[in-house]
Amino acid sequence: MSDFVIEAAGLRKEFGQAVAVDDVSFTLSRGQSLAVVGESGSGKTTVARMLVGLETPSGGSISVCGRPRRGGRVSSAERRRRAREIQIVFQDPYSSLDKLQRIGDVVETSLALHFPLTPAERRRRALELLEAVGLAERHASMLPRQLSGGQRQRVAIARAIAVEPEVLVLDEAVAALDVSIQAQILNLLADIRERSGISYVFISHDLAVVHQISDFAVVMSGGRIVERGDTRDLLRDPQEEYTQALRAAVPRPGWKPTRRQPA
């Protein structure tokens, strides 16, 4: 068996006339993390949604953990099995939790779907998971609106890793957060990977963020992959003008925010 947790070949997605993703191929090895970078509208989210089965590819193929993903109707047992292979964390921490569901329940629901635990065991495991993402027991009885954006994103991560997936897709999972909170979440993700051997697909439009978390990167533009390679090399010596532009957009040390002049 290959040690690729994801093999995507020639992925394509059309929305009506528009082509959102065109001929995208990549592999992800177990325990590694792959960054997908590109400007807004370059097709990153569409790739992520196809990986987790929220969108059916118009062409190409996806294998997760060595098993080809076929489209069409899927039984719920099969969907739950796939859930244990790949999970996703979305960008917006405000809409990715049900505003009426208490934090403890979010994680417990996830556990109940996948593991035969008694209510007491489930409760204990949920608290462990919350603790693992840096939340406390008192958060379990809170509603999402009582938490900050960073805390909510931690809940979304706890919900995803509760399933113990092989791969976690993070679609701009830190983009909506302050820089210092971003750093905390990135550290948390690095910790989790160290402990569990999980693999990440880390989607971002920010090369600086990608640099901290991923070994390998693909650069997308207009639905296609325009450059790929070691994240470090890409940052140091981007071949494509497009990648250079992405890098130039990254604030670096010595960068000062300039006050915007009124037009």
Partner 1 sequence: MTAVATRVRGTLGRFSPSRAARALGIPGVAAAALIAVVLTVTLLAPVLAPYDPDQPDLFNSLAGSSAAHPLGGDALGRDVLSRLMWGARTTLSGPVLIICLSTVVGTALAVTAAWAGGKVDAVVSRLLDVLFAVPGIVFALITVAVLGPGVTGVVLGLAVAYTPYVARVVRSAALRERNMPYVAAAWVQGRSAFAICVRHLLPNLRPIIVAQSVSALGFAVIDLAAISFLGLGVQPPTADWGLMVKSGLDSATRGQPLEALGAGLLIVLVVAAVIVLGDRLGKEGDQR
Ligand X SMILES: Nc1ncnc2c1ncn2[C@@H]1O[C@H](COP(=O)(O)OP(=O)(O)OP(=O)(O)O)[C@@H](O)[C@H]1O
Binding site for partner 1 (CB under 8 A): 49, 52-54, 76, 79-83, 86-88, 90-92, 95-102, 109-110, 113-114, 141, 156, 159-160, 163
Helix (H, G, I), strand (E, B) or coil at 59: strand
46 touches ligand X (CB under 6 A): yes
- Selection from 91, 123, 94 nearest residue 110 by Cα: 123
Burial degree of 3 (CB within 10 A; 0-12, 13-18, 19+): exposed
Q: How far is the CB of 189 from partner 1 (least distance, A)?
A: 17
Please classify residue 196 by burial: count the beta carbons closer than 10 Å to its beta carbon, then call 0-12 exposed, 13-18 middle and 19+ buried: middle
Binding mask 147-186 for ligand X (x = CB under 6 A): ----------------------------------------
Among 45, 87, 96, 182, binds Mg ion (CB under 5 A): 45
Among 6, 8, 11, 20, binds ligand X (CB under 6 A): 20
- Binding segment for ligand X (CB under 6 A), chosen from 3-11, 35-43, 158-166, 178-186, is 35-43
Asked whether 198 and 168 are in contact (CB, 8 A), the reply is: yes
46 is an interface residue for Mg ion by CB under 5 A: no
The residue among 94, 102, 73, 76 whose CA lies nearest residue 153 is: 94
Q: Between 91 and 221, whose beta carbon lies closer to partner 1?
A: 91
CA angle centred on 128, ends 125 and 129, rounded to 5° = 90
Which residues on neighbouring strands pair with residue 33, listed in sequence order? 200
Q: What is the rounded CA–CA span in Å between residue 152 and residue 158?
A: 10
Interface of this chain with ligand X, residues 193 to 222, rule: CB under 6 A: 205
38 touching ligand X, by CB under 6 A: yes
Chain residues binding ligand X by CB under 6 A are: 15, 18, 20, 38, 40-46, 205
Chain residues binding Mg ion by CB under 5 A are: 45
